[in-house]
Structure 1
Amino acid sequence: MKTFVAARLGAMIAILVALTGVMFILQHISPLDPVKAQLGAQASADAVAARREALGLNEPVLVQFWHYLTGAASGDLGTSYRTRHPVLSDLGDFLPATLELAMFGLVIAILLAVLLAFSTTLRWRGASLLRAVLFTGSSAPMFLLGILGLIVFYQSFGWLPANGRTGLPNPPDGPTGLLTVDGLLHARFDVVADALHHLILPALVIAIGPAVAIGRVLRSSLLGDIDSDYARTARAKGLSEGAIMARHVLRNSVGAALSMTGLQVGLMFSGVLVVEQVFGWPGIGQYIAQSIPVADFPAIAGVTIMLGAIYVFINTAVDLLQAAADPRIAITGG
């Protein structure tokens, strides 16, 4: 098991170094001069030369890459050309909103996936309708699904808000930046309720696609194990089908679903960036959308490295969880 963990952690580090290297190369070959982007096009030659020296741009490329890599590892992602603030500081302002939306989307996706897998495997009443609704929703682009949700649930029925994280004028501003958590910590249950009200629609939009993908994999695994020897033994003891699924079949079937969940979490973050534009959500999607038109490369690279790190970390955690659930994975190396 120790060898398996070390191999996965080593692979994670290697991927992150490679991603950082790609970002460095793109910045190095970009026609945009980072010094003039910081100082302005009218800066004097002496000011430009001094700034290049201060940024280490006159050093050999390998030395520059080493500084870039070690800086990224320590949290130094450069300074945004647009905001003039450290990129890490900007991400600290925008990331909590994105994390909160992604986490609630993931919770909804898992709940829908389990409901889809169990209902169709056990042939519950209404399972066909649930399956049809989820499959139809997953086939539509996220931005279109978001617009349809706004038309139906905001414009037509007025049940859910159209944009933003909260409609309250004085929500708490810390310590986590997650309104649902901060509302609980400050005993502001009005903030929690309002934040959940704003989260429902965008979280549901980003959850439908992953829910179908995870649910299909889980259902396939459940169908493969439901007629196994241990399931027949449990059935002979008089256990109900639901109890057999929950107590015996699910643990042996969850490995493939965990792998799919890890993949879908990474895709979910890319979907969040689109959904944030539709719902006016003040997260990383807004930040990157404002940075791209002005070629704010440090901000773009910072967001890319951060999302890549989250994706790799989550998939590594999924691999370790799979190994914990089924030790045979660690023995065979996955």
Structure 2
Amino acid sequence: MPARLRFILIRTASLIGLLWVLATVMFILQEISGQDPVAATIGATASPEAIAAARERFGLDDPMLVRYVSFLGGLLVGDLGLSFRTRRPVMEDLMAYMPATLELVLFGFVLALILGVVFAVSSMLRWPGASVFRGILFVGSTIPTFLVGILGLIIFYRNFGLFPSRGRGSSPDGPTGFYTVDALVTGQFDLLTEALHHMVMPAVALALAPALAIGRVLRSSLMETYGQDYIRTADAKGMRGTSVLFRHVLRNSVNAALSMGALQLGFMLGGVLVVEEVFSWGGMGSYLGASLNVADFPAVAGVTLVLGAVYVVANTAADILQSMADPRIAVS
């Protein structure tokens, strides 16, 4: 079996194992949470007959092992249980809130990658004014994410009125729930501009710290690669610095940055919940906040499982991309 294929299969098996561990932990927490699904669903004042019928319907009288197998089986078909608060399937709720969160995370992650690359490359090529940019990025990344958001609201909304303070803007007609995608596909460019306008401040607040982390790792890798003999040979042949950097150095320096990028994506999935609360974004953070207030464990567990799964998948994808960028990883 080719080394790269074996590496991909091993990482895929690890992915499945991690998802199983995450699901098992959530099941155990559900069992020890002390929350009574029957009381939360039909009310604590229901008749004994109604309570007994509900317990049988939910399978609560079955042995724990049977409930565990049923829980895992439900996850395989997207059944995350019934929300105590909304009385709807958790997956149905998440499908309504998830596009807002994913759109913000994706835009924030792309922005973090761009800022990180600019940080690293400007350090190597010493562009005019690059030190100012790096200083701003460094200061911004050391401030807690929620405080960055609040400062952005004070400066750019209240004082200058440059950006809106809350929400995602007007909802365009479209099937995805991603306002930018739906507006672009349907040709509603005014709504596309509005959606991007609303996204600037929360995306920047979410991207600053990951951008610095990615940029630092990439800069260290670039400096190490610049010390290699083949780079000295390229310099000796008279190749321009930008040509050497983009044609020879970057590809051999991205592995560590890819790993850091996947790690920062996981941090962003946690930070986005706070950013959504600051900017009233209307995504999974809002759903989680409302569910925590009423101890809606199925909803909380559903958000945790979905975000955890995205994080694990992202890290696996990063490992596979690394093996493609550097074949030596597949045989190590």
TM bin, normalised by shorter chain, reads over 0.9
Q: In structure 2, what is the Cα distance between the partners aligned to 1:269 and 1:172?
A: 25
Q: In structure 2, what is the Cα distance between the partners aligned to 1:30 and 1:43?
A: 22
Q: In structure 2, what is the Cα distance between the partners aligned to 1:329 and 1:221?
A: 16
Q: In structure 2, what is the Cα distance between the partners aligned to 1:70 and 1:323?
A: 33
User: 1:21-100 residue pairs with structure 2 within 5 A?
Assistant: 21-100=24-103
* Structure 2 unaligned regions, length at least 5: none
* Structure 1 unaligned regions, length at least 5: none
How many Å apart are 1:236 and its aligned residue?
A: 2.2
Are 2:115 and 1:109 aligned? no
Instruction: State the TM-score, normalizing by the size of structure 1.
Output: 0.97
How many Å apart are 1:39 and its aligned residue?
A: 0.6
Q: 209-218 or 19-28: which moved more? A: 19-28
- The answer for the alignment partner of 2:317 in structure 1 is 317
Do the aligned residues in 1 keep the contact of 2:80 with 2:298 (CA within 8 Å)?
A: yes
Q: In structure 2, what is the Cα distance between the partners aligned to 1:70 and 1:86?
A: 15
Q: 1:8 aligns with which of 7, 11, 22?
A: 11
Partner secondary structure for residue 293 of structure 2: coil
- The answer for the alignment partner of 2:208 in structure 1 is 208
Superimposed CA distance per residue, residues 108-138 of structure 1 (whole angstroms, 9 cap, x where no aligned partner): 1011000000011222222221111111111
- The answer for the alignment partner of 1:225 in structure 2 is 225
Do the aligned residues in 1 keep the contact of 2:173 with 2:183 (CA within 8 Å)?
A: no
Do the aligned residues in 1 keep the contact of 2:168 with 2:281 (CA within 8 Å)?
A: yes
How many Å apart are 1:172 and its aligned residue?
A: 2.2
- The answer for the alignment partner of 1:163 in structure 2 is 166
Superimposed CA distance per residue, residues 190-213 of structure 1 (whole angstroms, 9 cap, x where no aligned partner): 111000000011000100000000
Structure 1 vs Structure 2 CA RMSD = 0.8
Do the aligned residues in 1 keep the contact of 2:174 with 2:183 (CA within 8 Å)?
A: no
Structure 1 runs, 4 residues or longer, greater than 4 Å off: none
Q: In structure 2, what is the Cα distance between the partners aligned to 1:115 and 1:2?
A: 34
Partner secondary structure for residue 292 of structure 1: helix
Partner secondary structure for residue 172 of structure 1: coil
Q: In structure 2, what is the Cα distance between the partners aligned to 1:122 and 1:62?
A: 61
Do the aligned residues in 1 keep the contact of 2:109 with 2:207 (CA within 8 Å)?
A: yes
Q: In structure 2, what is the Cα distance between the partners aligned to 1:233 and 1:63?
A: 66
Superimposed CA distance per residue, residues 204-242 of structure 1 (whole angstroms, 9 cap, x where no aligned partner): 010000000000000000000112111112212222111
The one-letter code sitting in structure 2 at the alignment partner of 1:235 is D
Superimposed CA distance per residue, residues 67-101 of structure 1 (whole angstroms, 9 cap, x where no aligned partner): 10111121000010101111011001000000111
Q: In structure 2, what is the Cα distance between the partners aligned to 1:182 and 1:237?
A: 50
Q: Percent identity?
A: 55
Instruction: State the TM-score, normalizing by the size of structure 2.
Output: 0.98
The one-letter code sitting in structure 2 at the alignment partner of 1:180 is T
